[in-house]
Amino acid sequence: MSDSGCKHGFYLTTPIYYVNDVPHIGHAYTTIACDALARWHRMRGDDTRFLTGTDEHGQKIQQAAERRGVTPIELCDEVVMNFKKLWDALGISNDDFIRTTEDRHVKVTQYFFKALMESGDIYKGSYEGWYCVPCETYVPDAQIGDDKVCPDCKRPLTRMSEESYFFRLSKYQGALIKYYDDHPDAIMPKARYNEVISFIKSGLQDLSISRTTLKWGIPVPGDERHTVYVWLDALINYISAVGYPEAGEKWESCWPHVRHMVGKDIIRFHAVIWPAVLMAMGLNPPVRVFAHGWWTVEGDKMSKSKGNVVDPFEMVEVYGADAFRYFVLREVPFGNDGDFSELGMMNRINSDLANDIGNLLNRTLQMIEKYRDSRLPGASVLERARDVDFALRDMALRTMSEMDSHMADFALDAALKSLWVLIGAGNKYIDETQPWKLGREDPDERLDIVLRVLWEVLRLSAMLIYPFMPETAGRMHKQLGLDADVSAERHSEWGWGTYAADVTVKKQEVLFPRIDAVKWKEGYDARFRARMALLNPDAPPPTAAAFDTSHKEQVEIDDFKKLEIRVARIESVDMVEKAQKLYKLKVDLGFEKRVIVSSIREFFTPEELIGKNILVLCNLKPAKFRGIESEGMLLAAEADDGHREIISLAAVDDGFPVGSPVH
């Protein structure tokens, strides 16, 4: 089953975010991905609704509020603003924002509870078990070791016993398996589908869905000593936001088409508990639950103490919302885990955005400006197009349908890759047709045709880029001389050469200025230091460098003379696959060139190294790193500046002859 057949309803939700913390890249990622999908579907002409919101009840929030000395709702009101501000900064186009503390949600949750009590799917019993407070969940005995820590978050569990209401989850085991047999695309990617199926098959137990120990939550109707379990409360948001139980237009147009986007850590809540509850209510389960992967940061798990939590506000400020959106969606196959690095982002901005799309727009507009006084040749010139022009047109049309089928599978990265193949082909078309040679006077209109073809490719690219980079698409549209708002474009109305109005292009500032690697590194280091200083105000100031003070035994001059140290120039710097810390350097020693593998990647960008005159120990026995033979070692000073390790390469003045010996 593919989504692409569905022309009408597309109701997409993000998880609702806990308000006990500031938003980070994980939250931003889910929401950006949903935003791109929602915008795509609006352009397809689908009846689209996109929901996000906040999960405000539960022990975690209660405890966070206590620590801050405020009431839970005061904490929620404050933190919810951070999320709303972030969605504004990232250009998120959600149609609604639900908070679980809102009346509309509380009412529906209580309605659900009551209805399920009446149907017998909720019953009263008692529960004893090991509870993880941070995860708000009882952990089954089978998953607990002697250390009594939570298998997910590794924090200590608390033994709890309480009277509880239970949901008859076990009753729905067969129905769930049947549903997933019939709808193999209802959980994606496939690995998650298999994981959920084997979990269901391993046997489902009834689920405790109320707490007497928790005050901050929705009271169980008719038994107010109990509070509804926060996960049940949270899941119901998807339904309370679309007007259930009133059978209104919003409800009818949304619920049969509901798709949930979640992180892989919360797949079971969405693909096991939630569909069972819906079945018990006589409602259709989600059409799809898609679980995306998790981000690490420069090879490490994100953690406050490491100072490596990626703050999306900062990313927007430094790189711009669209570049950040593009990077997270393009970098990792959607569904897989990924590693975030600002260096990677800078490189991608320079290559994909400044170079590829930026150049295509710039070169095209420059030529229309120069050769045709900014006036776009009329569409009728396309009637005299040649094979090379038709080939690009066919590719453009193919790109749109290829992207549509990738988007139907939520393969956002693949959709972007398709589009970049077209953009690359556009640049190549310029190189091959060489419009500058066709010149100002052009009897056979060849130049007109080429310029119009390029403009058509760019007009299509602006529309196709819009879901991913809405602001950029708007800027492209304006520069291409199109008056209507790009968001009003519809795939079905777009056609090659069908835009008949007179167009004057308006070249403006470049879309993405190239980032200078040296300046970037300075900014990056400064931000890192500021973050660490904020986190750890007692740490020694950055000037108080610490270094290894253990001394080595004395040596004779002859010992030193055994070392052959020479000046070398760094000629090229390459990454070493699957080695985050290594660079493969090619250095020139004057009399020969050598390869040196060095673990300095985290300290320097390639641009900072290339051309530098450094000191190399050249008679060190060669050694292999990741299969690459290293034929020397570069010399560097090493210290700790109070926040992290720093190094400085031993170097000589620029222009000093390479190969010179060092005594």
The residue number whose beta carbon is nearest to ligand MSP equals 263
Query: Least distance to ligand MSP from the beta carbon of 226, Å?
Result: 20
DSSP designation for 134: T
Among 234, 367, 385, 419, binds ligand MSP (CB under 6 A): 234
DSSP designation for 617: E
Residue 303 or 351 having the CB closest to ligand MSP: 303
Residue 195 or 265 having the CB closest to ligand MSP: 265
Among 15, 275, 335, 470, binds ligand MSP (CB under 6 A): 15
With binding defined as CB under 6 A, does residue 108 bind ligand MSP?
no
Enter the tokens of residue 568.
């070398």
Helical (H) or strand (E) element with 295: strand 295-297
Enter the tokens of residue 456.
């058509």
Strand-pair partners of 12: 50, 259
For residue 91, what are the contacts with CB-CB under 8 A and spacing of at least 6?
Answer: 35, 321, 322, 325, 470, 471
Q: Are 24 and 302 in contact (CB under 8 A)?
A: yes
Cβ neighbours of 16 (radius 10 Å): 24
With binding defined as CB under 6 A, does residue 339 bind ligand MSP?
no
d(CA 467, CA 192): 26
Cβ neighbours of 647 (radius 10 Å): 13
Residue 308 or 418 having the CB closest to ligand MSP: 308
Residue 16 or 323 having the CB closest to ligand MSP: 16
Cβ neighbours of 528 (radius 10 Å): 15
Residue 55 or 356 having the CB closest to ligand MSP: 55
Q: Segment contacting ligand MSP (CB under 6 A): 14-22, 138-146, 385-393, 418-426?
A: 14-22
With binding defined as CB under 6 A, does residue 266 bind ligand MSP?
yes
Q: Segment contacting ligand MSP (CB under 6 A): 220-228, 263-271, 519-527, 530-538?
A: 263-271
Tell me the C-alpha to C-alpha distance, in Å, between residue 601 and each of 72, 284, 343, 426, 630: 45, 52, 10, 34, 15
Strand-pair partners of 208: 166
Query: Least distance to ligand MSP from the beta carbon of 15, Å?
Result: 4
Query: Least distance to ligand MSP from the beta carbon of 520, Å?
Result: 24
d(CA 12, CA 49): 6
With binding defined as CB under 6 A, does residue 150 bind ligand MSP?
no
Phi-psi region of 18 (alpha: psi -120 to 50; beta: other; left: phi over 0): beta
With binding defined as CB under 6 A, does residue 55 bind ligand MSP?
yes
The SS3 call for residue 419 is helix
Binding mask 550-579 for ligand MSP (x = CB under 6 A): ------------------------------
According to CB under 6 A, which residues from 63 to 92 bind ligand MSP?
none
Reduced DSSP (H G I as helix, E B as strand, rest coil) percent helix, strand, coil of the chain, to 5: 45, 20, 35
With binding defined as CB under 6 A, does residue 97 bind ligand MSP?
no
According to CB under 6 A, which residues from 409 to 448 bind ligand MSP?
none
User: Hunting for tokens 């570069």 — which residue is that?
Assistant: 634
Write the single-letter amino acid at 650: A
Residue 270 or 601 having the CB closest to ligand MSP: 270
Among 33, 90, 235, 458, binds ligand MSP (CB under 6 A): 235
Residue 258 or 585 having the CB closest to ligand MSP: 258
d(CA 592, CA 583): 20
Among 10, 11, 29, 496, binds ligand MSP (CB under 6 A): 29
Q: Segment contacting ligand MSP (CB under 6 A): 15-23, 84-92, 198-206, 580-588?
A: 15-23
Enter the tokens of residue 278.
């819906």
Residue 37 or 396 having the CB closest to ligand MSP: 37
With binding defined as CB under 6 A, does residue 294 bind ligand MSP?
yes
Binding mask 591-610 for ligand MSP (x = CB under 6 A): --------------------
Among 265, 311, 442, 571, binds ligand MSP (CB under 6 A): 265
Antiparallel, parallel or unpaired: β 17-18 and 47-55: parallel
Strand-pair partners of 628: 625
Residue 262 or 354 having the CB closest to ligand MSP: 262
Q: Which residues of 178-191 are buried (b: 16+ CB within 10 A; e: fewer)?
A: ebbeeeebbbbbee
> Rounded to an integer, what is the distance from CA 662 to the centroid of its chain?
49
Query: Least distance to ligand MSP from the beta carbon of 455, Å?
Result: 39
Among 89, 149, 175, 302, binds ligand MSP (CB under 6 A): 302
Among 3, 9, 16, 634, binds ligand MSP (CB under 6 A): 16
Nearest one of 56, 52, 63 to 101, comparing CA atoms: 56
Enter the tokens of residue 75.
């904490």
Residues within the interface to ligand MSP (CB under 6 A): 15-18, 26-27, 29-30, 55, 234-235, 262-263, 265-266, 294-295, 302
